[in-house]
Structure 1
Amino acid sequence: MIPRRESALLKISNENRVKLQALGFAVAGVLGVAIVDRLSMNLVHSGNDNFGLPFLLGVVFFVLSALFLYVLLRRTALVAEDALVKLSKYQQKEKENLQLFNFALDNSADAIYWFTFDTRFFYVNDAACKMLGYSKEELLQMKLSDIDSDYNKNTEKFLEQIKQKQFICFESRQTRKDGSTLPVSVSTNYFRNGEKEFICAFGRDITEQKERRRIITAQNMALKNSLQDKEVLIKEIHHRVKNNLEVISSLLQMQSRRETNSEVKDALSKSQSRIYAIALVHEMLYQNSDLATINMRSHLEQLSSAMIDLYAQNKKISVCLEADDLFLSMDYAVLVALIVHELFLNAIKHAFINTDTGVIDIFIKNGAEGSIVFGVNDNGIGINRDKVSTSTSLGCQLINTITECQLNGEIETDSENGFKCAITFIPKQKGKA
């Protein structure tokens, strides 16, 4: 089909040519008649009876008119022929464009259907027919409500909403010819052609997407349930480990009651409190919602409180805890707790020999470049700085071994005002050696 604008221009051009040709022929005829009439009148007035000359002039005029008319008609025929050739080319080009357009529409992955404001189908592509199971002829005789019952509800309001917003996307369920339904993602556009209003809708079958979404949701639910089961199991394991450690601690306590040797009793008591420091980590893990890390502030508060009750019953020792908001993994929490236990126990037993009062500071905080600094500081009688590294006691050996071999840290001591021991280490990130 020739474009509307070009067709109109071609029509106007042809009409102008016809008018000019008709006007030219009319002017030539009028001038010819006028000239012949004038010559005849002059001959009559002059008394000349020779009419051969006017006759000859008339014949010449009509011959010239015939030639002129032939030229005009020939020109008109050429113009018409040229117009037909152009029209044919335009039609061929338009036909090719229309074929490409129809091919693109029919082979679109989305169903395309246009409908008027009375919801009757105006155009459908092959994808729509394939998706719904109808032929084009059948769909063009149907209304939108025949494939989507939801359009019976507030149809006018919905169409006006599309008209106002120009573009709307939504999900719907459409009915196939065999009565089955399918989920469809629909995007609609409003457009106007003269006095007619249309809605152009693009529909896509999302059955597979829905199924994949359902499978993923089911898998996520299964993973969530599995994770919850594992969390329960891990908590149960920590709970049982803590109970087993308490059993060991009780056995050590029973053994301590049977012993008469004070050194053995003291060693058993220290071992019992060390086991408590480890058991406390497992207790906090199964009580917390986070099974991966331990709140060190809470852990050291409970540990120091238990040790005061166990070893400082006859002394007035106050404990000051200075702790940043630090969370460590179970491995690091156990190691830190054991070192703090040994330092705290040493301060209770040896720092306040000549007095019943004292202050013990426990600190754990963030250091430079991702390090952690923790330790114990007391205001007691102090101790030789080298004793911590050279002492053969089990407590000192534990501190040195854990710091150097397991934490890869450094020990700093200060004996000017009481005794202070600080350990600095950098926690390894998970997954790195």
Structure 2
Amino acid sequence: KYLYSIIHDISYRIKVEEELHLNEEKMRLLVEGTRELFFYTQDSYAKVTYISPSVELITGYKVKDWIGQSHWFVTDSEINKLAKQRTGKHLKGIKTKGPIIVEVRHANGNPILLEVFESPIIRQGKVTGVHGVAHDITKRVNAEKQIQKDLKIKETLLKEIHHRVKNNLSIIISLLNMQSEKIKTKKDAIDAFRKSRDRVYSMALIHEKLYNSEDLSGIDMKSYIEKIAGELLRTYSYDIKIQMNLDLENIFLDIDKAVPCGLIINELITNAIKHSFVNLDSGLINIILKRSENNENILIIKDNGIGLPEGFDILKQKSLGLRLINILTNQIDGKLEYSNNDGAVFKISFPK
């Protein structure tokens, strides 16, 4: 009788398996220690067998909610169909390149986007499941969308710049022509120059606010009025102590309304500073900008000066500034009202 035996050295295989297990543990510790992504494994039926704790921070669901599930709390988004097809290939042992994008419903109901790097798990030549790493890219995608939106707005704005500049130059030319008709003396010329400078500045400030704004589709009129009111007060209130009381809501206007509105504000403030406090030691100008209940914009400029002359009619005034107020109000489809109430009151209402 003979005894046959076969001895096979498996020490190398055991060593490799130990190193593989050690590497897997290192990877698991690395992934579980981050809040930016989570690690997961799925069996051959695509059911989750393991998922790292950071999934709770990213999705709002606890680890126990995921174990044994295969639907991944996914939405009905079109991109998830492609993700399911990719996972199906991995379960067949077909490797693919690059990440897949999965849209998952957060526990709070909001959709989040995950960038997933996934590959098949192959043991002894057989596919036993898939494993992967998922990274929350929702903020990045939203930021990219906002950048694209801003670029589109800027492109539209750049296309209109030449048109806007041409229109504004035409306005300046018209203003200068109208102003030149009033010049008779050297004093008239100096006064005309100052008024023209202020009007050009009011228009330039509108463009400055627009180009420096995060929202390029509108001009912040609150900050605009604060700046131009301060500039006009420093320019003209050298003979009298004048205070300004500003009550301004956060209202944004597109450039087509902002330019004429800015010129109106310039004329009314200048008129109040120069003519409302004759023979007075001090004065107060109230500027109000608000949104009415019927969604109209309301601009009120009121002073506590000598008031408007009896029988005042803006249409019969020779002053270019007052004529401009009426013309520009019509340009923005507004309604101009004026009265005396312990001083002059000008109220302009115009559509949003």
TM-score when scaled to structure 2? 0.54
Q: How much does 1:407 deviate?
A: 2.0
Letter in structure 2 aligned against 1:399: I
Give 1:280's aligned residue: 205
Query: Is the 2:336–2:346 contact (alpha carbons within 8 Å) kept by the matching residues of 1?
Result: yes
| Larger-Rg structure | 1
Query: Is the 2:153–2:217 contact (alpha carbons within 8 Å) kept by the matching residues of 1?
Result: no
Letter in structure 2 aligned against 1:284: K
Give 1:386's aligned residue: 312
Give 2:233's aligned residue: 308
Letter in structure 2 aligned against 1:288: S
Q: How much does 1:327 deviate?
A: 1.0
Query: Is the 1:239–1:282 contact (alpha carbons within 8 Å) kept by the matching residues of 2?
Result: no
Compared with structure 1, are the counterparts of its residues 200 and 303 closer, same or farther at alpha carbon in structure 2 (3 Å cutoff)? same
Letter in structure 1 aligned against 2:322: C
Compared with structure 1, are the counterparts of its residues 226 and 421 closer, same or farther at alpha carbon in structure 2 (3 Å cutoff)? closer
Query: Is the 2:222–2:248 contact (alpha carbons within 8 Å) kept by the matching residues of 1?
Result: yes
Q: How much does 1:290 deviate?
A: 1.4
Partner SS for 2:299? strand
Compared with structure 1, are the counterparts of its residues 222 and 329 closer, same or farther at alpha carbon in structure 2 (3 Å cutoff)? closer
Give 2:323's aligned residue: 397
Give 1:168's aligned residue: 70
Separation of aligned partners in 2, 1:348 and 1:222: 44
Compared with structure 1, are the counterparts of its residues 296 and 262 closer, same or farther at alpha carbon in structure 2 (3 Å cutoff)? same
User: What is the CA deviation profile of residues 127-168 of structure 1, one whole-angstrom value per residue up to 9, with x for unaligned ones?
Assistant: xxxxxxxxxxxxxxxxxxxxxxxxxx79xx854955994432
Partner SS for 1:424? strand
Give 1:350's aligned residue: 275
Q: What is the number of residues matched between the two proteins? A: 236
Structure that is richer in strand per residue? 2
Q: How much does 1:278 deviate?
A: 0.7
Q: How much does 1:402 deviate?
A: 1.4
Matches within 5 A, 1:236-251: none
Compared with structure 1, are the counterparts of its residues 288 and 237 closer, same or farther at alpha carbon in structure 2 (3 Å cutoff)? farther
Letter in structure 2 aligned against 1:174: H
Letter in structure 1 aligned against 2:90: Q
Q: How much does 1:378 deviate?
A: 0.5
Compared with structure 1, are the counterparts of its residues 221 and 390 closer, same or farther at alpha carbon in structure 2 (3 Å cutoff)? closer
Aligned-pair identity in percent equals 30
Given the alignment of the two structures, is residue 412 of structure 1 paired with residue 328 of structure 2, yes or no? Answer: no
Compared with structure 1, are the counterparts of its residues 161 and 274 closer, same or farther at alpha carbon in structure 2 (3 Å cutoff)? closer
Letter in structure 1 aligned against 2:70: I
RMSD of aligned alpha carbons = 4.6
Give 1:11's aligned residue: none
Q: How much does 1:387 deviate?
A: 3.1
Structure that is richer in helix per residue? 1
Given the alignment of the two structures, is residue 322 of structure 1 paired with residue 224 of structure 2, yes or no? Answer: no
TM-score when scaled to structure 1? 0.45
Letter in structure 1 aligned against 2:69: F
Letter in structure 1 aligned against 2:320: L
Given the alignment of the two structures, is residue 422 of structure 1 paired with residue 347 of structure 2, yes or no? Answer: yes
Separation of aligned partners in 1, 2:256 and 2:338: 24
Separation of aligned partners in 2, 1:318 and 1:278: 24
Query: Is the 1:238–1:285 contact (alpha carbons within 8 Å) kept by the matching residues of 2?
Result: no
Query: Is the 1:235–1:286 contact (alpha carbons within 8 Å) kept by the matching residues of 2?
Result: no
Separation of aligned partners in 1, 2:151 and 2:294: 38
User: What is the CA deviation profile of residues 18-73 of structure 1, one whole-angstrom value per residue up to 9, with x for unaligned ones?
Assistant: xxxxxxxxxxxxxxxxxxxxxxxxxxxxxxxxxxxxxxxxxxxxxxxxxxxxxxxx
Query: Is the 1:238–1:283 contact (alpha carbons within 8 Å) kept by the matching residues of 2?
Result: no
Partner SS for 2:273? helix
